[in-house]
Amino acid sequence: MAHSDVYPGREFHPWQVWPGAYDNPLAAGRYPRPASTGLKITRQTRIAAMGSCFTREIKDTLIADGYRFLAAEQEHRAARHASAAWERVYSTFCLRQIVRYSFEEWQPDLRWWVAPRSGVVQDPYRRIVVYPTLAQAETDFARHRLCSRRILEEADVLILTLEMTEIWEDARDGAVISLPAGPYVAEGGDMDRYRFRVSRYRENLENLDYIASVMARRNPACTVVLMVSPVHLWTTFREDADVISACGNAKATLRAAADEAAARHANVVYFPALEIATTHRMIHQQPVFAEGRESFHPAADTVKDVMRELYRFYGAPA
């Protein structure tokens, strides 16, 4: 047991007390977690993952370590970062749209962008997914929907990494695009219908509520594991905040929403990837971020720490 001079006579579990505080040890670099976290992951567990750039790190590590990572459409460039051709997904709004189109009919007011000069057809809702023709786009997306549904229905564990609260929203129907990027934007496509804004706690929680509820109906045996991505913002579109403050707000908003979603839904748990990568490594005076141009990404050792703790949290061998 651990103790605190602030609360004399009260005993705490080691994971309830800040590592190194008063006479409590740093626990040899291990993250202070409860003795049991409920969820169990083994190498036979069918794991799917969707989300930000950090999802790619999780995917690569799970596969390298011999875990059963579900993968479809792997010939598709957009599947590099996840279990299907979802591409990188940065907001809970886009995560919600994916779950929706996997199980329901979903037809936004403007489904495809056509680049003004090249005529390339671009999917606004998946990061820089392009096709030569509209017919090819429609055919591939119909196939993608089936693959996406199959992955979500087969998974024992669905990992979602949450990264951004900055969104670009269609003012006509509320659909949220992935990013204002790709050939359509580069060639001067009309973006007037989209408004930039910072999403807030309640609406991000509503998105997570929707995902949890749909997954509970469509795959009741699946546990949704929420993580806040330790990949930080490399830039902000906000005019009222610097990039570090904007990033802090995003992570805090998503962390609070994830905490409430885990409390509300029996099929949702929270894994502290952000806390392990940043605060815990800081306590041990270890570097967090990669060196070089993409210094907002976690370093390779940081990723290893997160994945080692993921295995330890959920009962798989370290």
pLDDT tens-place string over residues 76-126: 999 999 999 999 999 999 999 999 999 998 999 999 999 999 999 999 999
Low-confidence winner among 12-16, 131-135, 194-198 (lowest mean pLDDT): 12-16
Radius of gyration in angstroms for the set of CA atoms belonging to the chain, rounded to a whole number: 20
**Distance between CA 300 and CA 95 in Å, rounded?**
26
Q: 129: pLDDT confidence band, cut at 50, 70 and 90?
A: very high
Half-sphere exposure of 64 toward its Cβ, with a 13 Å CA cutoff?
A: 9
Domain membership flag for residue 6:
no
Domain membership flag for residue 33:
no
The arithmetic mean of pLDDT across residues 164-184, rounded, is 96
Domain membership flag for residue 115:
no
pLDDT computed for residue 27 by the predictor: 66
Domain membership flag for residue 19:
no
Tell whether the model's pLDDT for residue 36 goes beyond 80. Answer: no
> For 294-309, how does the pLDDT look when each residue is reduced to its tens digit (9 = 90+)?
888 788 999 999 999 9
Domain membership flag for residue 120:
no
Indicate which CATH number applies to the domain containing 222.
3.40.50.1110
The boundaries of the domain holding residue 83 are 45-105+146-177+194-313
**Torsion (CA) 290, 315, 15, 270 in degrees, nearest 10:** 70
Backbone φ/ψ region at 86: left (φ over 0), alpha (ψ -120 to 50), beta:
alpha
Mean pLDDT, the chain, integer: 93
Please tell me the total count of domains within the chain: 1
Domain membership flag for residue 39:
no
| Helix, strand, coil percent content, the chain, rounded in steps of 5 | 40, 15, 45
Domain membership flag for residue 160:
yes
Burial of 80-96, coded b for 16+ CB within 10 Å and e otherwise, reads: ebbbbbbbbbbbbbbbb
Domain membership flag for residue 2:
no
